[in-house]
Amino acid sequence: MIMLLMYNDVFSSTSEDSTKTSTDESRQFEISKSDEEWKSMLTPLQFKVTRRKATELPYENEYFDEKRKGEYNCICCGSKLFTSNEKYDSGTGWPSFFRPYDENNIIKELDIALFMIVTEIICSKCGAHLGHVFDDGPEPTGLRYCINSASLKFIEEK
Cβ atoms of 153 and 71 within 8 Å: the answer is: no
Name the residue type at position 81. Answer: L
Give 83 or 28, the one with higher predicted confidence: 83
For range 49-77, the mean pLDDT:
97
Burial annotation 55-91 (CB, 10 A radius, 16+ → b, else e): bbbbeebebbebeeebbbbbbbbebebbbbebbeebe
Q: What is the dihedral of CA 147, 18, 39, 71, to 10 degrees?
A: 0
Q: CA–CA separation, 105 vs 136, rounded Å?
A: 22
Question: What is the model's pLDDT at position 19?
Answer: 33
Position 102 pLDDT exceeds 90? yes
Residue numbers annotated as active site: 146
Domains of the chain: residue spans and CATH: 2-9+31-156 (2.170.150.20)
Does the structure show a pLDDT above 80 at 113? no
> Average of pLDDT values for 29-57?
96
Question: Residues 92, 61: contact at Cβ < 8 Å?
Answer: no
- pLDDT, residue 104, reads 97
